[in-house]
Every structure is written in C-alpha cells, then in structure tokens.
Amino acid sequence: MKKSICLYFQVHQPTRLRLYRFFDIGKDSHYYDDFANRTILKRIAQKCYLPMNELLLEAVTKGKGKFKLAFSISGSALEQFDRYAPEVIESFRKLAETGCVEFLCETYNHSLASLASRQEFAHQVQKHKAAVEQYFGVEPKTFRNTELIYSDGIGGMVRELGFQAMLTEGARHIMGWKSPNYLYNNEFNPDLKLLLRNYSLSDDIAFRFSDRGWAEWPLTAEKFVDWLKAAEGEIVNLFLDYETFGEHQGAECGIFEFMRALPGAVAREKDLEFVTPADAAAKHKSVGDLSVPQAISWADEERDTSAWLGNELQQDAFKKLYGLQEKLSLADDSALWKDYGHLQESDHLYYMCTKFFSDGEVHKRFNPYDTPYEAFINYMNVLSDFMIRVNNAIAEKQ
C-alpha cells in the first residue's frame, strides 16, 4: 500500500478589537478595528491567499486527481473575505469545484468553546458546517478543532455531532513511543478516527524553511520527499497555517517555488500518494486507541492549552466570557450573539499570554499589543460594555 501524504491548511483571521478605553464603556459599543482588519486582510490576500490558491489550482489541474489537499476556513475569516476581498472566496470556490480539495468543519469563530460549553460548541460547529455548505457547496465530513485542540471528551462531542474523523497534534507527551504516522481512534469512541500532525516535518516548512542557520537549509522539494519516504508508518500528516506562504515566510525565500515543485516530486514516487483527511480515514485502519485525558493543541513547546489559559489574566477573561451564556439566552438578541461570537475568538486570549522563553518570539510576532496586560485591559473594557448591553436587553424584556 502506498504511503499517504495528507496536506492540510488552516485559514483564519481574527476580528481585531480597536483601542477601547475605560471611558468608552456604556457610550460606544463598536468594538472592532475595521481599518486594521481591512488593511491586514487585503495585504494577506495579495501576499498569500490569492497567489497560493492560483498555484494550488494549477497543481490540482496538472495532477489530474493525484494531488489532493484540505482546508478549514474559520467563519471569522469567511466574513472578512466577504466584506473586504470577495475574490478570495471565488478562488477557494474554484478549488472546491475540482473535487480534489476537502473543506473541513471547525468552530465558526475559532473559539475555545470546546473547553467551556458543550452547547456553544455544538452551536458553532453547526453554524460553520452550514457556512461551508453555503460557500463551497460541500458538506464537511472531517473535523478540526481550533488550534487542533483535542481530548477524549472533545472527541466524544465531535463524534456525537456526526463526524467520523478528526485532526489533532501528534504531541510527544501523549504519543510516547508511538508514531504519529498511523491512524488512531478515540479511546471511548472507536468510530472517531484521529489523524495526528507530524510536527517535525510540518514545522520544517512552517518555521524553519527560511532559516539560513538551519543545517538543512535550503529545503528543496526533492529533499523533503526523501524525508517523507524515510518516515516510518502509513501516513504523514502535514498540517500548517496557510499564512505560512507569503506572510510568515516571505515569497523571497522561495517557499512558493518549493510548494509548486512538491506535488510533482511526490507524484514521481510510486510509493507515495496525496490523500485528503476523509480519504485517509477511509483508506487506513486504526492501529489502536489514543488516550488523551487532558486537552492538547499544536501551540508552543507544551502542546497544551497554556497559550490561551496559562495565566490568571486569561482565565479571568475566559470565565467571565463564558459565564454570560445563560444571560445571553435570556436576552436572545441577534446583535449580541454576533458580538459574543467575535469575543470568543481565541486570538484575544492568545494576546494575553505571558510566556517569554522558547515561544515568546512566536507570541510577539502575532500580537498587536505591546504587553499582555494591555491586551487584557482592552479586552475587559470591551467585555464590560458588552455585559451592560446584555443586562439592558434582559431588562427590556421584563
């Protein structure tokens, strides 16, 4: 049997908050930095989404069914594409029409709802599933939680929602001696198949590609295919942020040329083939249960949830946010529900992270705030105004 290469890209853009001061609370309820959201989205569309989609469409067409890949696109990103760059939506639609690109389901707002509320989690998953069907005309079969967050319990919820396969991280502290290059299953729900990210090979592209100090620089498609062939196991899962191409790794470093060459380099090997996550779940048999009692993710060295919930600032914001659910149900206001979704975006908590060691540089790169404390104060000011609106909406109904 040929070794499977499963290539998946995450597409997400947060709805960034404007500078929201204490004196705005109760007076101005527009929370978003529309200028930054538009400017950043349009820049990344030109540098990444549009050229990469064109490159991949060309590769899929040339591959005649042999080159396959997968995307998940958050609802927050879809909304911004609609608003600021509808041509990006159209370019993804062209990929969907090939039949060689799988679109995955996730939480609509790229949220941490799976760690807080079964009800809100299910709501966001169903909302995202509907959005994928609306935009791309396909029903998602595979699930990818925000930042690959997974545990036995989360897997159970995902199976209840009808999914048969899910992506997560091949975290070293969970795998032990096991290899991520096989299909596994949820320990308590054997029908849920698990595809585990090979973080070493994924990060060779996502983080090390342009590092001239890296012993393997420069990375060519032929060299990378040799590594894929040498990897033990039945499947190599390469899961990356789509913004790796052109944004995190600039075009000048040659990453587009690498990606243009990779499909052909794999196709020339008789023992390798590209598969989508759904293909992989159907093709391969699980080699056994995977026990994940505590949530894991693909973030940072720890591969846990500490990037979003590792300090008291984050935990306080998280508890206050999800503590509003009952009141929101009583208020039952569509504008409040929409803002509630955007306030759940995990990026807001990520900006409050106080890690400064191995992963400090990564957090700094994606953070619009000078300090985690500024991020916390700004977010809590917004949340304070939001809570006033929720209480006022309840009072009006009484």
Helices (H) and strands (E) in the chain, counts: 18, 10
Name residue 349's amino acid.
L
CA 202 to CA 227: how far, in whole Å? 12
Q: Which two tokens stand for residue 301?
A: 């060295």
For residue 264, what are the contacts with CB-CB under 8 A and spacing of at least 6? 59, 62, 221
- How far apart, in Å, are the Cα atoms of 149 and each of 169, 172, 178, 243, 329? 8, 15, 19, 19, 26
CA 191 to CA 343: how far, in whole Å? 33
For residue 20, what are the contacts with CB-CB under 8 A and spacing of at least 6? 31, 378, 381, 382, 385
Cβ atoms 110, 16 nearer than 8 A = no
DSSP for 218-252 reads: SP-HHHHHHHHHHS-SSEEEEEEEGGGBTTTB-GG
- Establish whether 147 is a catalytic residue: yes
CA 346 to CA 57: how far, in whole Å? 30
Which entry of 79, 147, 273, 345 is annotated as an active-site residue? 147
CA 234 to CA 96: how far, in whole Å? 26
Q: Environment class of residue 281 by beta-carbon count within 10 Å: exposed (0-12), middle (13-18) or buried (19+)?
A: buried
For residue 201, what are the contacts with CB-CB under 8 A and spacing of at least 6? 224, 227, 228, 231, 236, 238
Phi-psi region of 64 (alpha: psi -120 to 50; beta: other; left: phi over 0): left
Q: Which two tokens stand for residue 305?
A: 């949830």
CA 216 to CA 16: how far, in whole Å? 37
Indicate which residues carry an active-site annotation: 147
